[in-house]
């Protein structure tokens, strides 16, 4: 017997192939943002290093977040169009349809980040990372994609319409701008500065930045892993209970 | 002894503090069509959701295909097929891919069933087009075809013809009859009285979470007053005058209609018309009315259905 999750994942891939606009957004938007910040504002920011080196790790996180809108909409349309109910009344392993969505979401993230890094290298990105650091960075990205993916699936399951599901994922897209992704937190105004310092995305970005500079700091790494696991657990539990309850 | 496909006793379900099902008892014989008839909001979909393991009952015992719903949900799911109220097809996939998806997810399905089902439901020509391009009738057919993958022996159809044009509705009825001829049990909900009358071996009338009647279409029809004559007048004065003359009648002031009980035979009709003549009264419209399920519903629940059988 074929694994049900694999069947669902194949279905997600077919969806992406038939409706490429959503993935275009996920891949192109982070690149547009990168070109905008690096070319237009890059020289105006003094961050101590070459701006493209500073911004790329933050934009990697932004790329993960941009991919989530499509995931939320896709999950919600499965829910509201009765597809999920159809699977639920079949003798199909319960989590398969959600697992398919999460894996498709993470893979989309990886494609978007690969494209983004390609453009970053063209712009002169010169990381000091060795192979192990790169491996670590990919690991953090996958973990982040997985964690925010589960949270987004919960949002998608709970929303009434695909439009509100898309809207529900907007905070996740906005949050990176209020972190150390674009400019260091200590250059921000009071209030925003504290918010940026303590919000979950900042340690994750700092971890990526550290790994790509070849000098990861253990403290931020632990904070990043903690946040990722926390978000994943909350997202997973919320998604599972909504999946069970909503008929 | 008869074989029971579905039994339920004392089935109750509430959402928050609103009671949706208030103690339902059901027995559905294997190989028959059982119709749950009721207006919007009566609790039909909730009943289907509970019987198909989508929603948990708050109370009562249910067995589907011999399995206890509460403890053997997985076995129930393996035995049933469900077509919900809104065609749950994957719009980005083609008709063929939709069916293939069901085959891939179903242990008992055979590979060739995709082509067979496309053929049987006259979807072969559209098989390679995305389901988003299908008409309402084609979607319903595809939806039902997907339900049939793996040959379930009990099929739940929640308002399978709502929103379909008359021709597609006839097609759907033929498909449902063919299924039962193959020995499948059908649990069908509908708000169309004609549909229940046409298809069902037994009908249960659901109103505000309670079963108010159960039986064959004929048994239900027998439960209400028999044939009567309807007379429509042009003025309220004429209506009132006629009502005084025909003491046994009941009048509807709004529609200017008088209902006079009678057997519909020529003798009683002649005497009725003679009486009207005697008092120089004439009706603008005259019809003999034999009871249909609309009358049954009105008589059983005290209120009319929201959607008529037309």
φ/ψ of A34, rounded to 5, equals: -60, -50
**Residue A189 DSSP symbol:** P
Is B84 at the interface with chain A, CB within 8 A? yes
Contact A1, A91 (CB under 8 A): no
pLDDT digits (tens, 9 = 90+) for A161-185: 988 998 888 888 888 888 888 888 8
Identify the three-state secondary structure at position A217: coil
- Of A224-228, A237-241, B284-288, which range is least confident? B284-288
Look at residue B225 in the predicted model and tell me its pLDDT. 63
What lies within 8 Å, CB to CB, of B259 at 6+ separation is B228, B229, B230, B231, B249, B250, B251, B252, B289
- The structure tokens listed for B6 are 């579905």
pLDDT block averages, 10 residues each, chain B of length 310: 84 89 92 90 90 90 92 92 87 94 85 86 93 91 92 92 87 92 93 87 90 86 74 88 84 85 79 86 82 70 50
Contacts 24+ apart (CB under 8 A), A233-241: A234/A151, A235/A147, A235/A148, A235/A149, A235/A150, A235/A151, A235/A152, A235/A153, A235/A154, A236/A150, A238/A151, A238/A154, A238/A158, A239/A98, A239/A150, A239/A151, A239/A153, A239/A154, A239/A157, A240/A95, A240/A98
Question: Does residue A149 have a pLDDT over 90?
Answer: yes
Determine what percent of chain A is predicted with pLDDT higher than 90: 55
From chain A, the residues in CB contact with B77 under 8 A are 89-91
Is B53 at the interface with chain A, CB within 8 A? yes
Question: Does residue A1 have a pLDDT over 50?
Answer: no
A11: nearest CB among B84, B86, B101: B101
Test B54 with A86 for CB contact under 8 angstroms. no
Give the number of A-B residue pairs with CB atoms closer than 8 Å: 55
From chain B, the residues in CB contact with A86 under 8 A are 82, 84, 88, 146
Look at residue B84 in the predicted model and tell me its pLDDT. 84
Which H helix or E strand runs over A197? helix A192-198
Distance (Å, whole) CA B271 – CA B262:
11
Test A86 with B49 for CB contact under 8 angstroms. no
Crossing angle (nearest 10°) for helices B266-278 and B236-245: 120
Test B78 with A4 for CB contact under 8 angstroms. no
Q: Write down the mean pLDDT value for chain A.
A: 89
Identify the three-state secondary structure at position B251: strand
- Cα-Cα-Cα-Cα torsion B164, B168, B172, B177, nearest 10 degrees, comes to 130
Number of residues that make up chain B: 310
Single pTM value for the model: 0.81
Contact B76, B8 (CB under 8 A): no
The number of CA neighbours under 13 Å toward the Cβ of B262 is: 24
Nearest-by-CA chain B residue for A9: B101
pLDDT digits (tens, 9 = 90+) for A28-86: 999 999 998 888 877 777 777 888 888 899 999 999 999 998 999 999 999 998 899 99
Look at residue B1 in the predicted model and tell me its pLDDT. 44
Nearest-by-CA chain A residue for B78: A91
Number of H helices, E strands in chain A: 11, 0
Test B104 with A86 for CB contact under 8 angstroms. no
A14: nearest CB among B78, B86, B97: B97
Q: For chain B, how big is the Rg over CA atoms in Å? A: 24
Look at residue B302 in the predicted model and tell me its pLDDT. 67
Look at residue B309 in the predicted model and tell me its pLDDT. 36
Give the sheet arrangement for strand B59-64, strand by strand: B18-29, B4-15, B59-64, B67-68
B105: nearest CB among A18, A82, A92: A92
Min CA distance, B212 vs chain A (Å)? 26
pLDDT grade for A247, boundaries at 50, 70 and 90: low
pLDDT digits (tens, 9 = 90+) for B147-176: 999 889 999 999 988 888 888 889 899 999
Beta bridge partners of B8: B26, B62
- Is the backbone of residue B41 left (phi > 0), alpha (psi -120 to 50) or beta? left
Test A85 with B54 for CB contact under 8 angstroms. yes
Test B82 with A87 for CB contact under 8 angstroms. no
Look at residue B2 in the predicted model and tell me its pLDDT. 64
B14 C-beta neighbours (distance < 10 Å), count = 14
pLDDT digits (tens, 9 = 90+) for A198-207: 889 999 999 9
Look at residue B31 in the predicted model and tell me its pLDDT. 93
Test A90 with B86 for CB contact under 8 angstroms. no
B82: nearest CB among A7, A14, A89: A89
Interface predicted TM-score of the whole assembly (ipTM), two decimals = 0.85
From chain A, the residues in CB contact with B74 under 8 A are 91
Please give, one letter per residue, the 3-state secondary structure of B104-172.
HHCCCCCCCHHHHHHHHCCCCCCCCCEHHHCCHHHHHHHHHHHHHCCCCCEEEEECCCCCCCHHHHHHH
Look at residue B310 in the predicted model and tell me its pLDDT. 32
Test B92 with A83 for CB contact under 8 angstroms. no
Distance (Å, whole) CA A182 – CA A197:
13
Distance (Å, whole) CA B52 – CA A107:
34
């Amino acid at each position: 017997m074929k694994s049900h999750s694999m069947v669902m994942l194949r279905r997600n891939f077919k969806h992406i192939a038939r409706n490429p606009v959503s993935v275009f957004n996920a891949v192109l938007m982070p690149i547009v943002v990168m070109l905008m910040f690096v070319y237009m504002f890059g020289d105006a920011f003094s961050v101590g290093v070459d701006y493209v080196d500073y911004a790329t790790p933050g934009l990697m996180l932004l790329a993960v977040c941009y991919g989530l809108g499509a995931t939320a909409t896709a999950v919600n349309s499965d829910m509201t169009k009765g597809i999920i109910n159809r699977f639920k009344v079949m003798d199909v392993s319960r989590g398969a349809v959600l697992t398919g969505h999460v894996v498709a979401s993470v893979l989309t993230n990886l494609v978007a980040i690969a494209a983004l890094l390609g453009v970053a290298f063209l712009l002169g990105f010169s990381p000091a990372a060795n192979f192990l650091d790169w491996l670590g960075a990919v690991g953090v990205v996958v973990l982040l994609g997985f964690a925010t993916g589960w949270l987004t699936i919960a949002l998608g399951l709970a929303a009434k319409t695909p439009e509100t599901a898309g809207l529900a994922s907007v905070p996740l897209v906005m949050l990176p701008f209020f972190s150390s992704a674009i400019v260091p937190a200590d250059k921000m105004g009071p209030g925003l500065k504290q918010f940026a310092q303590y919000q979950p995305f900042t340690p994750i970005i700092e971890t990526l930045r550290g790994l790509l500079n070849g000098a990861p700091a253990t403290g931020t790494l632990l904070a990043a892993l903690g946040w990722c696991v926390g978000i994943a657990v909350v997202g997973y539990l919320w998604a599972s209970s909504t999946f069970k309850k909503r008929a | 002894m008869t074989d029971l496909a579905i039994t339920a006793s004392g089935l109750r379900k509430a959402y928050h503090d609103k009671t949706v099902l208030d103690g339902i008892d059901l027995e559905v014989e294997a190989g028959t069509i059982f119709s749950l008839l009721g207006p919007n909001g009566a609790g039909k979909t909730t009943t289907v959701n509970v019987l198909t393991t989508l929603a948990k009952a708050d109370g009562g015992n249910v067995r589907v295909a011999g399995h206890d719903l509460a403890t053997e949900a997985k076995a129930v799911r393996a035995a049933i097929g469900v077509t919900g109220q809104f065609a749950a097809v994957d719009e980005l996939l083609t008709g063929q891919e939709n069916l293939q998806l069901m085959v891939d997810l179903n242990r008992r399905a055979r590979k060739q069933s995709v082509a067979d089902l496309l053929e049987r439901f006259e979807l072969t020509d559209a098989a390679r087009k995305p389901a988003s391009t299908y008409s309402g009738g084609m979607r319903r057919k595809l939806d039902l075809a997907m339900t049939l993958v793996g040959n379930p022996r009990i099929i739940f159809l929640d308002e399978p013809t709502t929103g379909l044009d008359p021709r597609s509705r006839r097609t759907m009825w033929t498909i449902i009859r063919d299924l039962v001829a193959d020995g499948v049990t059908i649990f069908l909900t509908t708000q169309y009285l004609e549909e229940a009358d046409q298809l069902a071996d037994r009908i249960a009338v659901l109103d505000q979470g309670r079963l108010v009647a159960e039986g064959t279409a004929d048994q239900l029809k027998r439960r209400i007053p028999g044939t009567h004559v309807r007379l429509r007048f042009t003025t309220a004065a004429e209506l009132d005058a006629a009502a005084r003359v025909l003491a046994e009648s009941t009048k509807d002031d709004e529609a200017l209609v008088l209902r006079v009980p009678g057997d519909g035979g020529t003798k009683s009709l002649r005497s009725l018309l003679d009486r009207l003549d005697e008092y120089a009264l004439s009706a603008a419209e005259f019809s003999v009315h034999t009871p249909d399920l609309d009358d049954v519903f009105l008589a059983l629940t005290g209120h009319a259905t929201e959607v008529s059988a037309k």
